Amino acid sequence: MLSDSEEGFLTKIRVELRHEETAIGSTWLTRPIGSLKPELRFEDSERAIDYWTRKAVQMVYHYLLGKSLIKKAKALGATCQEDLNDWIDGKKPNIPDALLSAPPSRVPLPSDWEDLAHQLIQRLGPIDQITIRMLLIDGRSSDRALSACKDEQVNAEQLARQEDIRARPVPD
Amino acid sequence: MQNNWPDKKTSERVQSLIEGRVGPLQPLVDPTPLSGALQVAVIQAISLASDGRLDEESITTSLLGGMQATAPWFADLFEKAATPAFKWARYSKSSSEPTGEASTGADFAFIIHFSDDAARAAIFQAKRSKNERNLDIHQISPVREGKHPQPQILRLRDYGLSHLPSNATLENLHRVHYCGYMKSSFFCRPLSALNHLLVEYESRSQDIDRDLDAYLSNLTTNKNIDQRMLAEAKRLWAAQEERVVDRSEPIIELAHLLALGAATPWGTPVGGWLTLESEKAITAFRDTASAVMTVAEATAGHSPDMVNDPNATATSSDPLLSVVEHLNQRAHAPQNSRPQSNDVPAYAGPSPTRP
């Protein structure tokens, strides 16, 4: 039977796991909620949990690596950024050479990776249908949203400063 | 295992043995008999391959054969015959069994034993370089174990991850190496340093697998199905054909990697190596690896005593000296250019549980 932490993990990543006794023996069937793919079979629950853990970890890792690539491309200039966007959008088959020759990204797995996996699945759908391209597009959107938010903040601060200047008494 | 291993006297003697065989090699760490033997074997293999006429399989064979020949030569000069011992298991790469290089992407593995329940291990995919700048790594592996034909680098990644706990990522693949055979150097670049390239391959793989599914369902006959799938996969992957692994940082010379693995005292983390901390973990690694690739095993040894003078008087030829000179330069490369030990827990056995 599953432990509380195992059940909690499966709930977070929205995966069902059920036990079935058949004439030929016991089996564990599993599939993400809402997935259109066939159920997967495992000999024991441990292997099933291991399978989904690996899937979720790789998903989070690829998401964070994608964000790191976006950041690096930005630092390498407009051309690199444009080329990376073309790759993310499927217009080009390769990531920019400048990124390949750049030092590798260090992407440690955060301690709250299960929560991050949960958020990604909520936004993007069943875990077995999330592709790297979807993760990259999501990462790019959040990066743009963050930039827009920062720009908005900068604009608001500038506006406030200008109003402040205007409000100052004019010296005689 | 003793904390003062290797002692000064042993290291000095090993150093003189190395010098006698290949020339004045600067030690990266205090050498032990095993690290000395392995470095000599690597240097001699580089020298042998320096004329560029051997293919990668012949170089690997001469490398492992050289280790097998050199380790006993060093061991004979120390009292305890078990130090450094060397043995290897062989697997035929041409086998069409579901396991093998085609399914794992790996060529050979190396295990260094420190005791019955302590060992370090690393996995290698050898590539013969056509130039001194980079390695052409693009290769499509055939249909295996229900998998479509796919790039070798992805199979190497999957095999590397399968030996680690389920929360491991590419970051932890610093013990799975592309080993580049160049004229003057055998260098290793860990998969952890290729994460940009791997994400490109993985992303393409998701699209191409769908295309291969469609291709397969449209086939009207099963005749030569595997070969046709392979040909189609090669066509679909053509955009990646120019992909190479640069000989750029972080890299580590094979001789240095082996020396660090063999001579760094147990308990000190060493980048580029998987730590196996139980007899069960060692057996599991050996059993799974030896079923699919050549596995070389050596014993690191425990503070042996010298028994006689080596009288090592072998003269070094020019290729050997140039290799030694290159390794000496690499020994001064920045520390951060070497693979870093990582934070993933040691491999505990074949069925890792969720953290």
B243·A104 Cβ contact <8 A? no
User: Region A81-107: what's the mean pLDDT?
Assistant: 91
Contacts of A69 in chain B (CB under 8 A): 196, 199
Contacts of A9 in chain B (CB under 8 A): 354
pLDDT for position B162: 87
Report pLDDT digits (tens) over B115-124.
889 999 999 9
Nearest CA in chain B to A57: B167
Q: Report angle CA B115, B121, B122 to the nearest 5 degrees.
A: 165
Report pLDDT digits (tens) over B33-64.
889 999 999 999 999 988 888 888 899 989 98
Report pLDDT digits (tens) over B229-251.
999 999 999 988 888 888 777 78
Confidence of residue B82 (pLDDT cuts 50, 70, 90): very low
Residue B186, classed as helix, strand or coil, is: strand
User: Region A142-170: what's the mean pLDDT?
Assistant: 66
* Confidence check: pLDDT of A50 > 90: yes
Cα distances (angstroms) measured from residue B118 to each of B75, B134, B135, B240: 21, 35, 34, 40
pLDDT for position B344: 54
User: Region A118-137: what's the mean pLDDT?
Assistant: 96
Find which of A9, A94, A99, A124 to mutate to test the B interface (most B CBs within 10 Å of its CB): A94
Q: How many helices (DSSP H) and strands (DSSP E) are in chain A?
A: 6, 3
**From CA B262, how far away is CA B120, in angstroms rounded?**
8
Among the partner residues A47, A87, A107, nearest to B171 by beta-carbon distance: A107
Report pLDDT digits (tens) over B330-355.
888 766 566 666 555 555 444 434 43
Pairing between β-strand B176-181 and β-strand B118-128 as defined by DSSP bridges: parallel
Distance (Å) from the C-alpha of residue A48 to the closest C-alpha of chain B? 10
Confidence of residue B88 (pLDDT cuts 50, 70, 90): low
Among the partner residues B196, B207, B351, nearest to A69 by beta-carbon distance: B196
SS (H, E, C) B80-148: CCCCCCEEEECCCCCCCCCCCHHHHCCCEEEEEEEECCEEEEEEEEEEECCCCCEEECCCEECCECCEC
Can you read off the two tokens belonging to residue B96?
A: 């069409």
Alpha-helical segments (H) within A13-131: 45-76, 78-88, 97-101, 113-124
**To the nearest whole percent, how much of chain B has pLDDT over 70?**
79
* Confidence check: pLDDT of B317 > 60: no
User: Region B64-90: what's the mean pLDDT?
Assistant: 70
Report pLDDT digits (tens) over B281-316.
999 998 888 878 888 888 887 533 333 333 333 344
* Confidence check: pLDDT of B13 > 80: yes
Estimate the crossing angle of helix B195-218 against helix B225-236, to 10 degrees: 130
CB B154: neighbour CB atoms within 10 A? 17
**From CA B159, how far away is CA B146, in angstroms rounded?**
15
Distance (Å) from the C-alpha of residue B135 to the closest C-alpha of chain A? 13
Contacts of A109 in chain B (CB under 8 A): 167, 169, 171
B250: preceding bond cis by omega (within 30 degrees): yes
CB B148: neighbour CB atoms within 10 A? 22
* Confidence check: pLDDT of A119 > 80: yes
User: Region A143-171: what's the mean pLDDT?
Assistant: 65
Cβ-based interface (< 8 Å): residues of A facing B: 5-6, 9, 46-47, 49-50, 53-54, 57-58, 61-62, 65-66, 69, 87, 90, 93-95, 99-109, 113, 131-133, 136
User: Region A58-75: what's the mean pLDDT?
Assistant: 96
B354·A94 Cβ contact <8 A? no
Query: What is chain B's Cα-based Rg?
Result: 21
B223 touches chain A (CB under 8 A): no
pLDDT for position B79: 59
Report pLDDT digits (tens) over B142-195.
988 778 999 999 999 998 998 889 999 999 999 999 999 998 899 999 999 999
Find which of B158, B195, B210 to mutate to test the A interface (most A CBs within 10 Å of its CB): B195
B132 touches chain A (CB under 8 A): no
pLDDT for position B338: 65
* Confidence check: pLDDT of B278 > 80: yes
* Confidence check: pLDDT of B87 > 70: no
User: Region B269-275: what's the mean pLDDT?
Assistant: 92
pLDDT for position B305: 34
B353·A50 Cβ contact <8 A? yes
* Confidence check: pLDDT of B320 > 50: yes
Report pLDDT digits (tens) over B127-142.
988 888 888 888 899 9
A96: preceding bond cis by omega (within 30 degrees): no
Distance (Å) from the C-alpha of residue B244 to the closest C-alpha of chain A? 10
Predicted TM-score (pTM) of the model is 0.80
Among the partner residues A9, A65, A87, nearest to B354 by beta-carbon distance: A9
**Contact pairs from chain A to chain B, CB under 8 Å:** 84
